[in-house]
Structure 1
């Protein structure tokens, strides 16, 4: 199984529209692409929008090894 994680909504929607994945997105951000038939809802009875919050802290680039 390949898992593709993105932090950019535009990239995520592009991947989904291309047919290469599924995503849980907020309705307010995909209304037009849904109307245009580019995306479809997979679980219409599951209307609860819940999102995990993840944080990642990396060291400053100057401390990275070459």
Structure 2
């Protein structure tokens, strides 16, 4: 859940490393799939963006460390 993601984000920040967001068609949230009328591609994109928003809400932005 979000608590576990928060722990991972804190560790990644300390180590100054990226977090890979992996999306596959078999693990798309059913609500997202339904919202997109079963369109797998749109659902995968929405799922990825949802994950990005979660990381951003936890103040994770790897570009801070690329300087």
Answer yes or no: same fold by TM over 0.5. Answer: no
Shorter chain as denominator, the TM-score bin is 0.3 to 0.5
Structure scoring higher RCO (CA < 8 A, sep ≥ 6) equals 2
State TM-score, norm by structure 2. Answer: 0.32
Is the radius of gyration larger for structure 1 or structure 2? 1
State TM-score, norm by structure 1. Answer: 0.32
Q: By percentage of residues, which structure has more helix?
A: 2
